[in-house]
Amino acid sequence: MNTPVTLADWRAAYAAGARPAALLGALLARMAPDDPAWLARLDAAGLATELARLDGLDPAQAPLWGIPFAVKDNIDAAGWPTTAACPAFAHTAEADATVVARLRAAGAVLVGKTNLDQFATGLVGTRSPYGEVPNTFDAAYVSGGSSSGSASVVARGLVPLALGTDTAGSGRVPAGFNQLIGLKPTPHRLGMQGVVPACRTLDVVNVFALTLGDAAEAAAIIDGPDAGSPLPRPVLQPAWLPERPRIGIPAVPELDAALGYPAPWAAALARARALGAELVPVDFGPLFAVASLLYDGPWVAERYAAIRTLMDEQPEALDPVVREVIGQARRFDAAQAFEARYRLDALARAVATLWQGLDALLVPTAPTHPMRAQVAAEPVARNSALGRYTNFVNLLGWSALALPSGFTAAGLPFGITLIGPGGADAALAQWGQRWEAARLAEPGAFLGAHLRPPREDDHALRRQPAAAPSLVLAVVGAHLQGLPLHGQLVERGCRLLARTSTAAAYRLHALPGTVPPKPGLARVAPGEAGHAIEVEVYEMPLDRVGSFLGLIPPPLGLGSVELLDGSWVKGFICEGAALTGAPDISAHGGWRAYLASQR
């Protein structure tokens, strides 16, 4: 069979009778020992241990049974070395990081630890004593960092999933440079125990995958805090964006024209509009002011705090550029740290108003893509340019999703990033699925580094990160789309799930004297003849149900309504006393048809 590259491929291979020993053994044989993306690989003895572990798991209860994954080497895995790309820091982990333990509990098999910019300090993938990780599509260019190795092994189809970390863009920039999904959760929603910190208050584990469905499923499996989470879990948002979202874009994107970035950016905007988005130019100046605090402010001291002993006692053990960057921490004192915190709080309050008029932001993942030789000549300046649209996100506690978006004329990948408020991870995944389906339907689309053409099941969204609770609601009258009260649903951010009908056990009456005109729905007694009545089924954020209830006048209310398929949802019902003398309009099959008959 063909080499599996996505979760669907691996599952299909196992369903067809392939055994983990054969598939995983073949994978290990393809993992070249001189590949700079790998810092440690599963050996024969480790494979035997993993195969025995799989034998003790029920594949039906382990959604990632037998599927390989990799992790960035600043994430602990029991019995594996953790180096953070610094030999002097290397040690053998005694326990799995929370995120690794969750993937392994789901049946996934760790096959290797991956290279990174040392101590996750960089966006280029060149700051490692173990070698530079080249770009998957053109080795003269950087892979992006700091999660360079994790991005590389997914882009080349060695593993369908890999974990990285993202503080300033380390899970988004390499995704953009290697045509990958880079799902960056909201800070503090994932358990970070067992992850070597860069900035502990900002770090988050991200997921790399070739498809949105694969990334979202892995993110759902590792979702949730642990005892090591430094701050409370963020408030979750609804699981969807509006059907026609208002999306902010940089008013002046300042893209690398010599590299050909303006053309794929224009194509990305056209695709977003085709998906129904209203694009709103936004002044990103306040966001760039937030971003400047990350490396030009005292947050760099948080990186110093993570490796203080090594910096003070063995500074020569660090990559020279990493040592220079983190060494800037010594310029700041405690008073400046508090002043910067106040500055961030003020900026955060100001930019939070964006979400009053926008549903998301859409940005180029990076404004340029440097060659490795250019980074060698100007390591700090070239690196700094790559964080233009990434550095502010975690400081503000926001969510983000990096998505592939075509290529430059020279054949380099171009990526975009969708940004949402904190807790909007599921909503970004939902809209990202639509984006991916549109992209993969375009002529010449493919997954990863020319691995294979896309299939229809590649953009299936099987699972997604948790979202705010919601209520499924059936509407039968003036709240139907296009009718006078539908705006009450729009104001509350509802999404349409289905147009269907009730079970054939209801009668519909036109209520006299109501403004605007409204019907009353009532279930018939057992044995009485009833009708199936047209309804629209919506999902409403639970925290907005109370305000909606306050708008419902008597004799109407919300109760339980049976749908045609036998399921029960909440929906509009009417007091029986109000139906006396109200014309029975059930024969029309619904309120819309009745109104048409009156015209």
Provide the pLDDT confidence category of residue 1 given band limits of 50, 70 and 90: very low
Q: In what order do the strands lie in the sheet with 568-574?
A: 495-501, 534-541, 470-475, 568-574, 556-562
Mean pLDDT in residue range 220-245: 90
What confidence tens digit (pLDDT) does each residue in 106-165 have?
Answer: 999 999 999 999 999 999 999 999 999 999 999 999 999 999 999 999 999 999 999 999
567: three-class secondary structure by DSSP: coil
Mean pLDDT in residue range 310-337: 94
Query: What is the rounded CA–CA span in Å between residue 343 and residue 351?
Result: 12
DSSP code of residue 415: E
Mean pLDDT in residue range 203-210: 97
3-state secondary structure 503-528: CCCEEEEEECCCCCCEEEEEECCCCC
Query: What is the rounded CA–CA span in Å between residue 215 and residue 211?
Result: 6
Contacting residues for 471 by C-beta, under 8 A, at least 6 apart:
539, 540, 541, 542, 545, 570
Query: What is the rounded CA–CA span in Å between residue 287 and residue 342?
Result: 16
Place of tokens 């700090």: 380
Distances, alpha carbon 224 to alpha carbons 7, 102, 115, 187, 489, in Å: 22, 10, 26, 11, 30
Place of tokens 């269907």: 500
Taking 90 as the threshold, does the pLDDT of residue 2 lie above it? no
Mean pLDDT in residue range 404-425: 96
**CA nearest 166: which of 75, 247, 292, 40?**
75
Structure tokens at 255: 């893209």
- The per-residue pLDDT of the chain, averaged, comes to 96
Query: What is the rounded CA–CA span in Å between residue 534 and residue 592?
Result: 8
Query: What is the rounded CA–CA span in Å between residue 6 and residue 217?
Result: 12
Provide the pLDDT confidence category of residue 350 given band limits of 50, 70 and 90: very high
What confidence tens digit (pLDDT) does each residue in 529-567 have?
Answer: 999 999 999 999 999 999 999 999 999 999 999 999 999
- pLDDT value, residue 456: 83
Asked if 597 and 588 touch (Cβ cutoff 8 Å), the reply is yes
Active-site positions read: 72, 146, 170
**Exposed, middle or buried: residue 385 (CB in 10 Å: 0-12, 13-18, 19+)?**
middle
Place of tokens 């799995």: 96
User: Quick one: what percent of the chain has pLDDT higher than 70?
Assistant: 99
- pLDDT value, residue 514: 95
Of 209-218, 413-422, 442-451, 558-567, where does mean pLDDT reach its minimum?
442-451
- pLDDT value, residue 256: 97
User: How far is C-alpha 518 from the geometric centre of its chain's CA atoms?
Assistant: 41
Structure tokens at 583: 């014309």
Mean pLDDT in residue range 365-391: 97
Question: What are residue 361's phi and psi, to 5 degrees?
Answer: -115, 150
Provide the pLDDT confidence category of residue 253 given band limits of 50, 70 and 90: very high
Provide the pLDDT confidence category of residue 296 given band limits of 50, 70 and 90: confident
Structure tokens at 213: 């469905």
pTM comes to 0.94
Mean pLDDT in residue range 269-279: 98
- pLDDT value, residue 231: 77
Contacting residues for 105 by C-beta, under 8 A, at least 6 apart:
62
**CA nearest 156: which of 173, 139, 169?**
139
Name 476's bridge partners: none
Determine which helix (DSSP H) or strand (DSSP E) holds 164, and give its type and residue range: strand 161-166
**CA nearest 196: which of 122, 101, 293, 89?**
89
Determine which helix (DSSP H) or strand (DSSP E) holds 67, and give its type and residue range: none
Mean pLDDT in residue range 449-454: 84
Contacting residues for 133 by C-beta, under 8 A, at least 6 apart:
36, 37, 115, 125, 126, 143, 145, 148, 149, 152
- pLDDT value, residue 10: 96
- pLDDT value, residue 266: 98
3-state secondary structure 4-66: CCCHHHHHHHHHCCCCHHHHHHHHHHHCCCCCCCEEEECCHHHHHHHHHHHHCCCHHHCCCCC
Q: Half-sphere exposure of 546 toward its Cβ, with a 13 Å CA cutoff?
A: 1
Taking 80 as the threshold, does the pLDDT of residue 228 lie above it? no
Query: What is the rounded CA–CA span in Å between residue 10 and residue 287?
Result: 41
